[in-house]
Amino acid sequence: MQRVADIETPRSSSIPSDRAFADILRPLIDPGFRLALAMLRDRGAAEDAVQEASFTAWRKLATMRDRGRVRPWFLGIVANKCRNARRGKWFASVSLGVPEDVAIVSNEDESLRRSDLRAAVARLPHDDQLVIVLFFYLDLPLEEVASVVGLSVAATRGRLYRSVNKLRPGVDIEEAIR
Residues making contact with another protein (CB under 8 A): 1, 17-19, 21-22, 25-26, 29-30, 33-34, 37-38, 41, 44-48, 50-52, 54-55, 58, 90-91, 93-96, 98-99, 102, 111, 113-115, 117-118, 121, 132-133, 136-137, 139, 164, 167-168, 171, 175-178
Q: Taking each helix axis as running N to C, give the angle between helix 18-40 and helix 70-87, from 0 to 180 degrees, rounded to the nearest 10.
A: 50
Burial class (CB in 10 A: 0-12, 13-18, 19+), 30: middle
By beta-carbon proximity to another protein, the closer residue of 9 and 95 is 95
How open is the CA angle 121-130-128, to the nearest 5 degrees?
Answer: 65
The CB-of-153 to another protein minimum distance in angstroms stands at 19
The CB-of-68 to another protein minimum distance in angstroms stands at 21
Separation between Cα atoms, residue 100 and residue 116, nearest integer Å: 9
The CB-of-143 to another protein minimum distance in angstroms stands at 17
Identity of the amino acid at 175: E
**Element (H or E) spanning 153, and its range?**
helix 153-167
By beta-carbon proximity to another protein, the closer residue of 59 and 65 is 59
Separation between Cα atoms, residue 12 and residue 66, nearest integer Å: 9
By beta-carbon proximity to another protein, the closer residue of 99 and 150 is 99
By beta-carbon proximity to another protein, the closer residue of 66 and 139 is 139
